[in-house]
Amino acid sequence: MSLLFSDRESPLFPIPLHVGRPNIGSREAIHRHIDEILDRRWLSNEGPVVLELERRLADYVGVKHCLTVCNATIGLEIAYRVTELSGEVIVPSNTFAATVHALHWQGIKPVFCDIDPMTHNLDVGSVEACITDKTTGIVGVHLWGRPCPVHDLQRLADRLGLKLIFDAAHAFGCSLGGQMIGGFGDAEVFSFHATKFMNCGEGGAIATNDDDLAALIRQTRSFGFQGCDRIVRVGTNGKMNEFSAAVGLSSMDSIDEFIQVNSSNYRGYREALADIPGVEVLAYDEQERNNFQYIVVDVDEQQSPLTRDQWLQVLHADNVLARRYFYPGMHRAEPYQSLDPFAAKRLPVTDAVLRRILVLPTGTAVGSQEIELIGKIFQQATVHASMLKRQLPSTLVLPTAPLVPVSPGYRKAA
Domain ranges in the chain?
Answer: 17-23+254-322+361-391, 27-253
- Alpha-carbon distances, residue 154 vs 79, 108, 140, 299, 356 (angstroms): 17, 21, 11, 32, 30
- 265, 292 contact by CB (below 8 A): yes
The one-character DSSP state at 283 is P
DSSP SS3 for 253 = helix
Question: Do 160 and 191 meet the contact criterion of CB atoms below 8 Å apart?
Answer: no
Angle between helix 97-104 and helix 72-82 axes, rounded to 10 deg: 40
Q: What is the pLDDT of residue 402?
A: 46
How many Å apart are CA 22 and CA 361, to the nearest integer?
A: 11
Amino acid at 182: G
DSSP 81-112: HHTT--SEEEEESSS-HHHHHHHHTTTPEEEE
pLDDT (0 to 100) of residue 10 = 82
pLDDT of the residue at 412: 37
Tell me which DSSP letter residue 343 carries: G
At residue 399, the pLDDT reads 55
d(CA 322, CA 17): 8
Q: What is the pLDDT of residue 123?
A: 98
| Contact present, 242 and 42 (Cβ < 8 Å) | yes
Angle at 208 between CA 203 and CA 213, to 5 degrees: 100
What residues contact 61, with CB distance under 8 A and at least 6 apart? 172, 180, 181, 182, 183, 207
- Which helix (H) or strand (E) segment holds residue 353: the answer is helix 348-354
CA atoms within 13 A on the CB side of 370: 26
Instruction: Give the per-residue pLDDT at 413.
Output: 34
Cβ count within 10 A of residue 297: 21
Q: Do residues 399 and 317 lie in contact, with contact meaning Cβ atoms separated by under 8 Å?
A: yes
- Say what the pLDDT of residue 405 is: 43
**What pTM did the predictor assign?**
0.93
For residue 140, the SS3 value is strand
> For residue 9, with 0-12 CB atoms within 10 Å meaning exposed, 13-18 middle and 19 or more buried, which class applies?
exposed
Integer CA distances (angstroms), 258 to 253, 264, 376, 380, in order = 10, 10, 25, 30
In the chain (414 residues long), the average pLDDT of successive 10-residue segments reads 68 93 94 96 95 98 98 98 98 98 97 97 98 98 98 98 98 97 98 97 98 97 90 94 98 97 98 97 96 98 96 96 97 97 97 97 96 96 93 70 42 35
Adjacent-strand bridge partners of 150: none
Cis peptide bond upstream of 335, omega within 30? yes
Answer whether 17-23+254-322+361-391 and 27-253 agree in fold: no
Within 8 A by CB and 6+ apart from 214, the residues are 64, 65, 67, 208
113 and 367 in contact (C-beta within 8 Å)? Answer: no
CATH of domain 17-23+254-322+361-391: 3.90.1150.10
The pLDDT value recorded for residue 154 is: 98
CATH 3.40.640.10 assigned to domain 27-253? The reply is yes
What's the pLDDT score for residue 277?
Answer: 98
